[in-house]
Structures are given as structure tokens and as C-alpha cells.
């Protein structure tokens, strides 16, 4: 099978390419970023990286036409982007997705659309099932532009399905692992990672009782591959994640233990507005119902937080040391 991954040079895209290549497929990765996360695959004759945009129609059409499945992962993500550049989030995540879906419909290709747990907003009823309501804050709060952009993408998937498209929607819940974003920015795990490697205290926002369900990347990718290869998944939405809740304070303490640091001496509490400003709104709990992932995709998130975080920390530590900076 020939597969196109938009956003194929990123964290999830690089791991998805690894898994698809391991199964013997041919992979084309399209991304505007550099090929740093996929360099290990460049010598593989079944892998091709193209530095281009999903708005480059000639390249996109050529790739979609020759492939059997499109995994559409290209997007603007990260809290810093929601707050600082909401226009870019909306443009890429909405207009870019429309572009990919139109081309996929034209050439009658299956599309796996990468969505997010953010679509549920702040719905207090957890765990969240795929058909549960979306509960969002005011449009003036920039924090909700990413959630909205991904929900619009889902609506377009279903709208194009009525015209003949074969879409599958996967909603990721806090995926982490080696090759995650650069340290110090983006997700809580990479922020904690940067602070650990620089021998700084871990900054926990608020009281740290807010929870997330963290999913190790190989578990998430296993389900994502199945979403694109199993015909039973077409037309459906899947939560992709781990249903074990982890308070952020517990996450910080676990990281300290893995790094051999005393949690009581290496964690500080900070106010949310001091980090993200007044136009950000946090969600206290984010928990997926993953029964559908288990039943249809036959996948489960089996990696424990302790095991996954240790693997992630060891990878980042090795990369940090290779940079010549060292720790401390």
C-alpha cells in the first residue's frame, strides 16, 4: 500500500511512518518543517520526504493521486500558538484541511483526519464518548480557536462523506514519547522535560489537581494505523488514548523520581495567568472513553505512565547530551 502523511515530518507523523514502513508499506511524508525527525528513514527506498505545504496544490494532487490512504496530520498545534497566532491556527487547520479533503475526494482516496481531545472543550461529563456534547468558552478566549478549527475539520469530513469521501476521524489524547516537540515549549511534558534537563524546578500551574490522560506514542500509532487500514473504521470517530487519569502534580512528581530528584524540593506552583496571560482557559479534567477504540480497532494503550515517561526522559536526555550542552 502507498500512504501519504501530511505533517509527516512532525512528532506523530514520524512515528506513523516508522510503523507503516515496518508493515511493508510505501510512505510519502509531506511537511513544511525540516526532516530532522525522519532522518533515520531517509535511506529507506520505500520512504520519501517532500518539503512542501498542503497548500501546494500541484504537489498535493500528485501525491494523493498515487497513494491509497491519506493520513492528514498537518496542523498548527500548541498552546503558545492558540494564544499568540490564532489566525494561523484557523487558516492551516480549516483551509488546509478543506484543501486535502477536496483532493482526496477528487481521486477517491480514504482519509484519516487527525483531530483532538480539545473538541470536547470543557464538558464536565467525563469520560468523554465520541458522540458527547462539545462545551466551549467564549469566542473572545483564544484558547478555543484550536478546538473550533479541528471540529470544523470534522464537519468537513462528514460533509464530504456525503459526496463519496471515505473519512476516519481520530481524536488524540495527550500523546507523548521520543521526538516530541522541542523542550520548554508546547505541552506540559516538554515543558517539564526542559526544566529537568536545565536543573530547574518544575512549574505546576495552579494547585496541580487538573488531570490529563497521557498516551505513549507507540500505543496511539498502533490504533492510528488500524484506522487507515481497517474498512470497518470508515465514517467513524475514535478517541485514541489512555483512560487513566494523571493529575499534573503527580506527573511532575513522577518526572522528578525518574530524574533522581526530590519532588518536594524541585516543584513550584505558578498562576495560570502569569504563564499564558488572561486570555487562556484551562480544562480541569480530560478523560476519554476508549471502548470504541478497543472494540473496533482492537487496540489498547498498554504502556504505563512510569514506563512511557522513563523512555521519553531517557531519549531527551541522550539528545540533550549529544547537543553538547549537558545537564545542570
Nearest by Cα to 42 from 9, 68, 67, 83:
9
Q: Residues of 263-282 as b/e, b for ≥16 C-beta within 10 angstroms?
A: eeebbeeeeeeeebeeebbe
- Cα 68 to the chain's mean position, in Å? 23
Q: Is 139 helix (H, G, I), strand (E, B) or coil?
A: coil
| 313 included as an active-site residue | no
How far is residue 194's CA from residue 80's CA, in Å, rounded to a whole number? 16
Q: Are 75 and 12 in contact (CB under 8 A)?
A: no
Catalytic residue among 71, 82, 120, 146: 146
How far is residue 237's CA from residue 129's CA, in Å, rounded to a whole number? 10
Active site residues: 146
Amino acid at each position: 500500500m502507498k500512504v501519504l502523511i501530511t505533517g509527516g515530518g512532525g512528532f506523530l507523523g514520524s512515528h506513523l511512518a516508522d510503523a507503516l514502513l515496518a508493515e511493508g508499506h510505501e510512505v510519502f511524508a509531506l511537511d513544511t518543517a525540516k526532516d530532522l525527525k525522519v532522518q533515520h528513514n531517509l535511506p529507506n527506498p520505500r520512504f520519501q520526504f517532500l518539503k512542501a505545504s498542503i497548500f501546494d496544490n500541484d504537489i498535493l494532487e500528485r501525491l494523493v493521486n498515487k497513494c491509497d490512504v491519506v493520513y492528514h496530520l498537518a496542523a498548527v498545534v500548541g498552546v503558545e500558538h492558540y494564544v499568540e497566532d490564532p489566525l494561523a491556527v484557523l487558516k492551516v487547520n480549516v483551509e488546509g484541511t478543506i484543501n486535502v479533503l477536496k483532493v482526496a475526494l477528487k481521486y477517491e482516496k480514504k482519509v484519516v483526519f487527525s483531530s483532538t481531545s480539545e473538541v470536547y472543550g470543557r464538558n464536565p461529563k467525563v469520560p468523554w464518548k465520541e458522540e458527547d456534547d462539545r462545551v466551549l468558552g467564549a469566542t473572545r478566549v483564544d484558547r478555543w480557536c484550536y478546538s473550533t478549527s479541528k471540529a470544523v475539520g470534522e464537519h468537513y469530513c462528514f460533509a464530504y462523506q456525503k459526496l463519496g469521501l471515505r473519512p476516519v476521524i481520530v481524536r488524540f489524547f495527550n500523546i507523548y514519547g521520543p521526538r516530541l516537540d522541542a523542550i520548554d515549549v508546547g505541552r506540559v511534558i516538554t515543558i517539564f522535560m526542559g526544566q529537568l534537563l536545565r536543573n530547574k524546578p518544575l512549574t505546576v500551574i495552579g494547585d496541580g489537581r487538573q488531570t490529563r490522560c497521557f498516551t505513549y506514542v507507540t500505543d496511539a500509532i498502533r490504533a492510528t494505523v488500524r484506522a487507515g487500514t481497517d474498512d470497518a473504521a470508515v465514517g467513524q470517530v475514535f478517541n485514541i488514548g489512555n483512560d487513566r487519569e494523571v493529575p499534573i502534580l503527580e506527573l511532575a512528581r513522577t518526572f522528578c523520581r525518574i530524574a533522581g530528584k526530590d519532588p518536594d524540593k524541585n516543584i513550584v506552583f505558578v498562576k495560570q495567568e502569569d504563564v499564558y496571560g488572561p486570555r487562556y482557559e484551562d480544562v480541569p479534567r480530560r478523560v476519554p472513553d476508549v471502548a470504541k477504540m478497543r472494540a473496533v480497532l482492537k487496540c489498547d494503550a498498554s504502556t504505563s505512565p512510569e514506563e512511557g515517561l522513563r523512555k521519553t526522559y531517557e531519549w531527551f536526555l541522550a539528545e540533550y547530551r549529544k547537543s553538547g550542552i549537558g545537564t545542570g
